[in-house]
Structure 1
């Protein structure tokens, strides 16, 4: 009887330990909406519908967990083989649900968040707009994926940007720059991750901080600011000189215009693992077109 009692005690202790281990495996993350999302364990099936989040998952060495992405997620190359579930703002809800994800990573501005949650799908909504946001997202995804060295990866990215900044000539600091992010006159504001990088590289952003991270600016605003250098993607450059008064802007008059390819623009407009590469692209533009 003594041995039987001991055996029962050991079994009970084992069950309690197992329950404790299962409880410890639960993961809770508070996303950019302030919503806490709880999962019983680290997700093995992930759908990402924001390119910067897709790239961050892969940089953390967890690309193999992705089972679907948005149509714009194209890096690294392996994600191009995954099922596409529409755009990030208006994703294909049925296609996402059919993939049976443990969690969906998407922007807070996506119209699919509430619909997916109403169908019982876990959603982690994050939308990095600044460098601080990108660092925080890296940490949260590291926690979600149980990758302990996420901040080490971020420090390497940050060090890469600093190295690029130190390589620029002193003449770069006098440059006044306009960066057009997308068609319709949407610019990179001072407090956006692009604007913050411009500051780190020593140039002056013509967009006033009060206008926000990615404001839509009037063409006349740019004419009045008269930037020394303009940065724009190849998708948005057409008709630039035809805007009222733009032919007289110093940057266009002196041919100080950097036109980034589609692939380069993808690097520049995604706040994540390739930010050091983005700094190099921007620095090359400043050196080749801006500094005289």
Structure 2
């Protein structure tokens, strides 16, 4: 009888362990609208998008990264991690060799189907707005078995810091019309981009309407006709601005109402992720400085 009870208890324990193992599995819908099953909390993660790399680290899971894309450069603790290409040219062999139990990548990146065919679990996410950043943070937290309260805590910190940046801008610096250049050609950030959302929260007016799409390719003459009060641009793009058709007639250039961001600052500004609060502070400082400049340049 005793032996039968012990056998029963043993079988019950095994059954409970099985139920526990099953309960750990989580099914998530990624931005491809694909249902992805995470069988157990991943211990080896490859991230192929900088904003996702930063999200993993903001959630306190940086130590689980075993590889990142060539553009991921924050925080400093990831500096020595293997680089595995970029979104358009991921190094399939390097990713597979790292034996990840989760690959994070953008929906616009290449290789997702190939990774899946090779038996890797792929979660494709691409935040494009403030709401997306909060949503993606929650999904990544679920995938990594991080309590949702932690992802919400991180988001609340970001959101509160953006509000604080907005409150730091003096009234006379509000309402400035801004052209934000994302990259050469040129491409700009419109009202519908996450950058445009931040500018709006800071009380600025974007010369590029949402109807153009988040990051439209701009005809240089558009900017000339719009005559922005100030320009925000990375240091790699500013050199050729005066050579663009008609740009010698831009008052913002003539009055030096241009905020030029260093490379590291540009990285912060163009990534929809945990450092959006820092991006807001950079833009707020620009608006404040140029607001003073504008008031002094008026007759």
Shorter-chain TM-score category? over 0.9
Matched pairs, number: 291
- Aligned partner of 2:241 in structure 1 is 240
Give CA-to-partner distance per residue, 1:88-124, whole Å, 9 cap, x none: 2221111111111101111100012122112221111
- Aligned partner of 1:138 in structure 2 is 137
- Aligned partner of 1:98 in structure 2 is 97
CA distance in 1, matches of 2:104, 2:72: 12
Give CA-to-partner distance per residue, 1:161-189, whole Å, 9 cap, x none: 00110111112222100000011111111
- Aligned partner of 1:276 in structure 2 is 277
Q: Pairwise CA RMSD of aligned residues?
A: 1.1
- Are residues 1:225 and 2:254 paired? no
Task: Structure 2 unaligned segments of length 5 or more: list them.
Answer: none
CA distance in 2, matches of 1:287, 1:97: 48
How much has 1:157 moved relative to structure 2?
0.8
* Contact 1:178 1:187 survives alignment (8 Å): yes
- Aligned partner of 2:25 in structure 1 is 26
CA distance in 2, matches of 1:39, 1:175: 47
Q: Which runs of structure 2 are paired with 1:167-182 in the superposition (5 Å)?
A: 167-182=168-183
Q: Which runs of structure 2 are paired with 1:81-230 in the superposition (5 Å)?
A: 81-148=80-147, 149-230=150-231
Task: Structure 1 unaligned segments of length 5 or more: list them.
Answer: none
Q: Secondary structure at the match of 2:108?
A: coil
* Contact 1:229 1:290 survives alignment (8 Å): no
* Contact 1:85 1:96 survives alignment (8 Å): yes
How much has 1:86 moved relative to structure 2?
1.0
CA distance in 2, matches of 1:16, 1:239: 68
CA distance in 2, matches of 1:158, 1:277: 11
CA distance in 1, matches of 2:234, 2:76: 21
* Contact 1:188 1:213 survives alignment (8 Å): yes
CA distance in 2, matches of 1:72, 1:235: 16
Q: 4+ runs of 1 displaced by more than 3 Å?
A: none
- Aligned partner of 2:2 in structure 1 is 3
How much has 1:87 moved relative to structure 2?
1.4
CA distance in 2, matches of 1:73, 1:191: 25
How much has 1:9 moved relative to structure 2?
2.4
Q: Secondary structure at the match of 1:271?
A: coil
- Aligned partner of 1:16 in structure 2 is 15
How much has 1:242 moved relative to structure 2?
0.9
CA distance in 1, matches of 2:40, 2:215: 36
CA distance in 2, matches of 1:209, 1:58: 31
